[in-house]
Chain A
């Protein structure tokens, strides 16, 4: 569509939403525009002199665009920008704030697997992987990205409702001196001190200690 006159209201709330460094640009449609609005997206590496149009996000009618591939180098920072078009009119380019994948991503909780004996439970935690372009690409654990990564683990005795919290650096934990034949529920969170990043707590995994022999 030819850009005749940029009188269209601007796209709103243009921002990156990032989880495990899967970096997706989101925005809201311009105020007061119904259907039929199309969008163009471009991005720039901060400090490098050119804006690059994202080929798969030219003249699209959705209000998101996956820029994970273009922003996968987390030693760089980025800007992205969106422009709206409707019936020959257009909006201004609307930019994100500066996006730093390292500090601006959210981290999923760790995966929790548990096993038990009569008097103890063993917990193994698995850190989520950084987003990757394809399943064949080599996996990078977020542990490699954030070397100071730690885990907060919560263990609940379902019978007494007593709860313990542990803060650990390695990914395994054995909780001893438990009651036989009792159900315990485990939940864990990832905690990175700098930059400050906390995942939510994982869904509770419950397991019963074996009955007394």
Chain B
């Protein structure tokens, strides 16, 4: 679709409807972020920023993060607001298909996990597990723009 964009993660190229995901997130960003009262903790961006990850490690970390959002985050983010829920599931579907494509690319050994991406992802999981599941999931969802900014 017009908003599709090739997201280059290391040797892998995944077509992803970034504009659609962005629009979906922007529509619910204020709502989602208002459910996260913790200013002093971040799942994705601290203590180490995604932007400091070497490009050779991008593919692996991107795949890890897609899996993280699909398996851990989206499932825990049901709200009483049907509009918000619809936007979340639309984003989740886009992530699901992107993960599948990235997985296929990974099978051709184009998505090597270096020490840096492994360490970074461990930190993200530690941040996530440092909170109760619902808070951690909602915070992660509220940080989707951090992931999208990095992917672009």
Contact = CB atoms under 8 A, between A and B. Distances in A.
A49 B18 contact: no
A44 interface: yes
B40 A195 contact: no
B135 interface: no
Interface stretch (A58-66, A96-104, A171-179): A96-104
Contact of B30 (A50, A76, A97): A97
B33 A97 contact: yes
Interface of B: 3, 5, 18-19, 22-23, 26, 30, 33-34, 39-42, 45-46, 49, 51, 142, 145-146, 148-149, 152
Given A44-B40, A48-B40, A98-B33, A194 B22 contact: yes
A46 interface: yes
A103 B26 contact: yes
Contact of B152 (A48, A79, A194): A194
Contacts of B3: 193-194
A100 B56 CA distance: 27
Nearest to A193: B19
Please classify the interface of chain B as helix (H, G, I), strand (E, B), loop, or mixed, using the class held by over half of its residues: helix
20 contacts: A46-B39, A46-B42, A47-B41, A47-B45, A48-B40, A48-B46, A75-B45, A76-B49, A97-B30, A97-B33, A98-B142, A100-B145, A102-B145, A103-B26, A193-B3, A194-B3, A194-B18, A194-B19, A196-B19, A196-B23
Interface in A29-88: 44, 46-50, 75-77, 79
Contacts of A48: 40, 42, 46
Interface of A: 44, 46-50, 75-77, 79, 97-98, 100, 102-103, 148, 193-196
Nearest to A76: B45
Contact of A44 (B18, B39, B49, B146): B39
Contacts of A47: 40-42, 45-46
Given A44-B40, A47-B46, A97-B34, A196 B26 contact: yes
Contacts of B33: 97-98
B124 to A, nearest CB: 12
Given A79-B39, A98-B33, A194 B148 contact: yes
B85 to A, nearest CB: 21
Contacts of A77: 45, 145-146
Given A75-B49, A194-B3, A196-B22, A100 B42 contact: no
B114 to A, nearest CB: 21
A46 B149 contact: no
Nearest to B5: A194
B40 A100 contact: no
Of the listed residues A97, A98, A148, the one surrounded by the most CB atoms of chain B closer than 10 A to its CB is A98
Nearest to A97: B30
B23 A102 contact: no
Contacts of A49: 40-41
Nearest to A47: B42
A79 B19 CA distance: 25
A46 B26 contact: no
